[in-house]
């Protein structure tokens, strides 16, 4: 077991991404839609880390990028994760951990929403 795996699994965000791509591949966008409390950029950065740790692999199809877990790279950790997701309270614990591990500036609002035609003054 490579030490880098421990680092990758230390983050509740990355563990949740792993769960989402555990049994079937998902696009980066779909993963983001499942975790709308952070920006798309944040998800992309975590996907990069998982990828570099060898815990997920990606495939490009037109404009989409599909990710899936490399379960064979996780060894005994796969059992740990599945045991965790089997816990009736895992979702509650995840929420608490995500809250705790937050860093950086808080999101200003529910994200700008790009007012339809602000092109007035130019």
Pattern 61-100, its own copies, x by CB under 8 A: --------------xxx-xxx-xx--x--x--xx--x---
Contact status: 54 vs its own copies (CB under 8 A):
no
Contact status: 98 vs DNA (CB under 7 A):
yes
Contact status, residue 72 vs residue 21, Cβ threshold 8 Å: no
Tell me the window of 33-41, 68-76, 79-87, 88-96 that interacts with DNA (CB under 7 A).
33-41
Residues between 45 and 64 with contacts to DNA, criterion CB under 7 A = 45-49, 58, 62-64
Query: Between 12-20 and 40-52, two packed helices, what is the crossing angle to 10 degrees?
Result: 80
Burial 55-64 (b: 16+ CB within 10 A, else e): bbebeeeeee
Distance CA 119, CA 122 (A): 7
Q: Which residues in this chain contact DNA in the complex, by CB under 7 A? A: 10-11, 13-14, 27-30, 32, 37-49, 58, 62-65, 98, 100-108, 111-112
């Amino acid at each position: 077991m490579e030490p880098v795996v421990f680092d990758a699994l230390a983050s509740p965000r990355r563990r949740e991404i792993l769960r989402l791509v555990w049994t079937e591949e998902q696009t980066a966008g779909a993963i983001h839609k499942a975790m709308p409390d952070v920006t798309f950029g944040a998800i992309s950065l975590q996907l990069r880390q998982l990828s570099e740790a060898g815990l997920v692999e990606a495939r490009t199809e037109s404009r989409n990028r599909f990710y899936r877990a490399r379960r064979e790279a996780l060894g005994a950790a796969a059992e740990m994760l599945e045991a965790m997701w089997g816990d009736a309270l895992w979702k509650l614990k995840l929420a608490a951990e995500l809250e705790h591990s937050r860093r950086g500036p808080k999101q200003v609002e529910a994200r700008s929403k790009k007012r339809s035609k602000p092109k007035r003054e130019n």
